[in-house]
Structure 1
Amino acid sequence: MGKERVHELFSDYFNGVLLIDVWEIGSKLILGSKNEVGYKILTEANPLPLLNSARTDPKAFELFLQGMIHALQNNLEIPIPAQKFLAEYLGNPKIRPKQKTGTKIDDEFNWRLRLALLELEEEGIRPTKGEKTDPEDHECGIDIVLDVLCQFDQSNEYTYENLARRYFELSGNFQSH
């Protein structure tokens, strides 16, 4: 994998190619494109938690909406509770929850960072430098990611420190939305 794979992951990111959408429902992971995930949650799990969340959470609402679009475009069966919520929304679009203001978390970037560092770790490259054990010139996963990000003119946007902070925040509790 190495640097080539990291380059591929972030090249797709900066070109707007989605990696994959992952949601965790209980102990079950649901994978696919955003519209597939929305539909799978509505049909493979109990749809009520998503529908209830969609009333207050903009991300859950978007997931619901993408699932409905997928179902309608592909002539798929839609569970009755989802049909009722869709009809309610079509009759009153104001029920859509408002986007929250503040710093937006870039889940797509975070997934790619996590995946790149995990794959590099499988090759024996530690994700970060151990301050006491690694010499300054020892290359770690974040160094490789930073190298690649510089190729996309992102050297001012990301630093070792902010990528390491993201990594440590994600590694302890890397769950979906």
Structure 2
Amino acid sequence: MKNKIAKSVVMMVLAVFLLPLTVQSEFYQYQDENGTVNFTDDPAKIPKKFKKKKKIRDDDMSDPESKEMRVKINGNQVLVPVTVSYRGKEVKATFLLDTGATTCTISPGLAQRLNINPRDTDVSMAQVVGGAVHAVGHVKLDYVLVGPNRKYEIDASVISSGKNNDGLLGMNFLRELRYHIDFNSHTIRWGD
């Protein structure tokens, strides 16, 4: 019986790793009559009189180590550009800033982009918000870099976290960091 359960857990983890996930975002920039530069991820939110002045900007993390960086905001969700490294492979991704998550998570798609082999993960069962129980793979990332903040040997769980992100930026990364989110300008400022 235990052998069947173990095989089922391994098969579930392998299936999760094979699910593809892609995230791409564009920001639109326009300057209003007061000279204020505005950003939005929804072109429908640009006032009609400023549509000709819009510029499309890919969320390319042109300066990923800046103390102030652009973020994507969906309602109360703050999506931040991150750089993740596993066994020397570095990948750019988008994480949901989640002060309610104990640890960082990465999606199966990001695990695949990082060449994480499911056999190299420690598998356990985890209960998520809502009470559902999932098989979860645990890995130790070389580092996670967000703005000027780089933390080494970060524990992460491989589990689907949402449609708009590659993972969650949990408290094992955010603990002891100071930051301010400006919902109007879609920016986050790290430090004092």
TM over 0.5: no
TM score, norm. by length of structure 1: 0.28
**Looking at CA atoms only, which structure, 1 or 2, has the larger radius of gyration?**
1
TM score, norm. by length of structure 2: 0.26
Question: Which of the pair is proportionally richer in strand?
Answer: 2
